[in-house]
Amino acid sequence: MKLGLQLGYWGAQPPTGVGELVAAAEEAGFDAIFTAEAWGSDAFTPLAWWGRETSRLRLGTSIVQMSGRAPTSIAMHALTLDHLTGGRVVLGMGVSGPQVVEGWYGQPFAKPLARTREVVDIIRQVLAREAPVSNAGPHYPLPYAGEGAVGLGKPLKPIVHPLRSDIPIWLGAEGPKNVAQTAEIADGWIPIFYTPRSAGMYQPWLDEGFGRPGARRTRADFEIAATCHLQVVSGPEEKQLVLDALKPTVSLYMGGMGAKEANFHKQVFERMGYADLADEVQRLYLSGEKDRATALIPDELVDDMHIVGTEGQVRERVAQWEETGVTTLMLSLRSPAEVRQIAALLR
C-alpha cells in the first residue's frame, strides 16, 4: 500500500507551510500528493505550483468537479500538467452534488452516472488523439448543435500531442450504481468515509462493475485510494482530544454538506448503519445548532473513519485498511515532522 499526502482544498485563506509538507513527503518516500476543490480554490493550480518543486511524487486531484469545466477543458488541464511534470498526473474526478452543481456552476445535476460516462469517454478521446473528438451523448454533445448554435462547430484533435495517451482516471463515487460504474470504466476509485468496518459493503458493487462486458480493470490492477486523518498519540487521553477535534468535520458532512433532500454524504453514513443518528445530526445542523449536532457524533464512528493511536495501534490499523484492498492511503498530516514520523513508522 502506498502513502499519499492529502492537501485538500483551501479554507478562508491559503494554508501556510504546504511547501514544507510537500518537500517532506517527497523526501520521505510518499507516492503522491492530492488536492481537492469545493467552491473556493481549484484543484489543478496547487498541483502545478507544487509539482514544480518535486520530481517524483505523483500529482492527483481528489477530486475535480466535473460540472466546473467542459470535459475537453478537464482534458486540457490534465494534458498540460502531465507534460509540465513529466507524466505524474492522476486525474481524480467526481460529480459533486446538486447544491454545488446547480448553485455554483449553474449546470443541471440530473443523470450523474450518464454524465460521468460521457466525461470519461471524451477525456480519453482527447488523450488518445487518434481522431477528432466527437460525442453524440445528450449531456456533452460535440460538436454542439443545439439552441443558439451557429452550425460551424467541427470535431477537433488537441493541438498538443499528449505526453501519455492514457492518464489514470480515478472517480469519486458513493452509491451502489456509481461505485459499480467506477469499477467498470475507471482506473481507480476514491471513496469517501471508507473504513475497514464498512469495506465489505462495497465489495458486491465493485464486483458488479468488474464483471461487466468491456470492464477496463480487474481487482488486480484497480486502485482504491482512501482518505483518513492519521495521528500517533501517547495514550487514551490524547486520543480522545484528537477524536473530539475531528467530530465537527464529521457532523458537517453528515448534516450540512448538501440539501436536506439530497445529501449524498449523509447517505453513506446511513448505509454504514447510522441512519437515525444522521437524521438527528442533519436536523440540528440545518437548524443552526451545529454544536449540538457535533456532540452527537460517537467516538466509535470517528475512530473507525480515521487512524489515531499509539505507534503499535497505528501499524495494526494501517494493516487493516490494506487488507480491505486499499492501494493508496491518502493521509491528512499536519507537519513535516509528522510526515517523516509516519513514513518511518510504516516503511
What is the mean predicted confidence (pLDDT) over 39-57? 97
Percent of the chain scoring above 90 in pLDDT = 92
pLDDT value, residue 137: 87
Give kind and range of the element (H or E) at residue 238: helix 236-251
Nearest to 192 by CA among 262, 118, 263, 123: 263
Residue type, 44: F
Q: Is 92 helix (H, G, I), strand (E, B) or coil?
A: strand
Does the structure show a pLDDT above 90 at 256?
A: no
CB of 171 closer than 8 Å to CB of 182: yes
Q: What is the mean pLDDT of residues 150-161?
A: 97
List Cβ neighbours of 242 (8 Å cut-off, separation of 6 or more).
Answer: 229, 231, 233, 308
Grade residue 186 by pLDDT with cuts at 50, 70 and 90.
very high
Q: What is the pLDDT of residues 210-233, one digit of tens each?
A: 999 999 999 999 999 999 999 999
**d(Cα 171, Cα 183) in Å, to the nearest integer?**
9
Classified as helix, coil or strand, 290 is helix
Mean pLDDT, residues 29-56 taken together: 97
Q: Is residue 171 a contact partner of residue 197, using CB atoms and an 8 Å limit? A: no
Tell me the mean pLDDT in the region 124-144: 97
Please state, in angstroms and rounded to a whole number, the distance separating the CA atoms of residues 13 and 223.
32
CA 166 vs. chain centroid, Å, equals 19
Q: Is 169 in a helix, a strand, or coil?
A: strand
User: Residue 167 and residue 182: Cα distance in Å, rounded?
Assistant: 16
Q: Is the pTM of this model over 0.85?
A: yes
pLDDT digits over 265-312, tens only? 888 899 889 999 999 999 999 999 999 999 999 999 999 999 999 999
* Residue 257's pLDDT band (cuts 50, 70, 90): confident
Residue 253 to residues 176, 181, 278, 290, Cα–Cα distance (Å): 19, 24, 10, 12
121 alpha-carbon distance from chain centroid: 19
